[in-house]
Amino acid sequence: MERIIECVPNFSEGRDLQKLEKILDVFRGRHNVKLLDYSSDEDHNRSVVTIVGEPEALKVAMVEAIGKAVELIDLTKHEGQHPRMGAVDVVPFIPIRNVTVEEADALAKEVAKAASEAYGLPFFLYEKSASAPHRENLANIRKGQFEGMTEKMKDEQWIPDFGPSTIHPTAGVTAIGARMPLVAYNVNLGTNNLEIASKIAKNVRFMNGGFRYVKALGIELEDRGIVQVSMNLTDYTKTSIYRVFETVKMEAERYGVNVVGSEIVGLVPLQALVDTADYYLRLENFNFNQVLETRL
């Protein structure tokens, strides 16, 4: 593949893995499309999938996958800790090689147009593709979630960019657009007090005065009896993993709570991990090109 775009669709299904596999099968065995990674979380009831491909091949595969998700996922029966408004909740396109963000934006709009016409699913454009400033932030679009979206879309400010003017009865509505790479990063706390995680999330996220490139919320992990600060780092070069981790740890200490672990969901740019190693190891004059794999 000479021109590569990455796509990281989030599907609102993390418990019925047979349904997920049927969606993933759409990406398998296709020319110029490769399924790189996927992860599911039962508490979130959500799956994050990473695929790459040539623009036209990726478009065809993604439209088909959206259709399969609309067929299989019923949000009227969906429960989970992660906010959601659609069976296919969000579909970001990220330029990787020999592709511009403008081309990723054009691809997002082509997919939205084709999928809305094929499945009667409404789409909001977000991030670099947003049609208005109040639609750039995914959290603003998703506010109200599936249950409140019908009423929300009666407001002229929230008429979809593609598709019908009301939600799909079982698949809701989807956000789609071009963006730069982000890191989905979660920090787990040694407590079951969701209020503590929510307070820490509020302190680190940008919309409440925290880090410019952090979106965050508190989530309960019922199966483990703990809570989590779940985050998206939308520009890891300006808000690093280690800086966010240290801040969450410091805030947790205010409540006498320890950090018991952290996790990266999906794929992560190598530079983000190198930066973190550099910080904790206190390396002197370290250069990214000293990583063996980058020289092969």
Q: Measure the CA–CA gap between 125 and 93, rounded to whole angstroms.
A: 11
User: Which one-letter DSSP state was computed for residue 163?
Assistant: S
Strands 174-178 and 123-125: parallel
Q: Is 31 an annotated catalytic residue? A: no
Which residues pair with residue 10 across a beta bridge? Answer: 48, 90
Per-residue CA distances from 233 to 33, 107, 214, 219, 287 (Å): 26, 23, 5, 17, 23
Per-residue CA distances from 30 to 24, 35, 58, 62, 260 (Å): 11, 9, 9, 12, 40
Count of other CB atoms within 10 angstroms of residue 150: 14
| Among the listed residues 184, 182, 188, the one whose alpha carbon sits nearest the alpha carbon of residue 229 | 188
Identity of the residue numbered 250: M
| Among the listed residues 121, 180, 173, the one whose alpha carbon sits nearest the alpha carbon of residue 146 | 173
Q: CB-hemisphere CA count at 13 Å for 116?
A: 22
Burial 25-49 (b: 16+ CB within 10 A, else e): ebbeebebbebeebbbbebbbbbbb
- Among candidate residues 31, 44, 82, 168, the one labeled active-site is 82
Please report which residue ranges of the chain form alpha helices under DSSP H: 17-24, 55-72, 101-119, 138-142, 145-152, 194-204, 241-253, 270-281, 292-295
> So which residues are the catalytic ones?
82
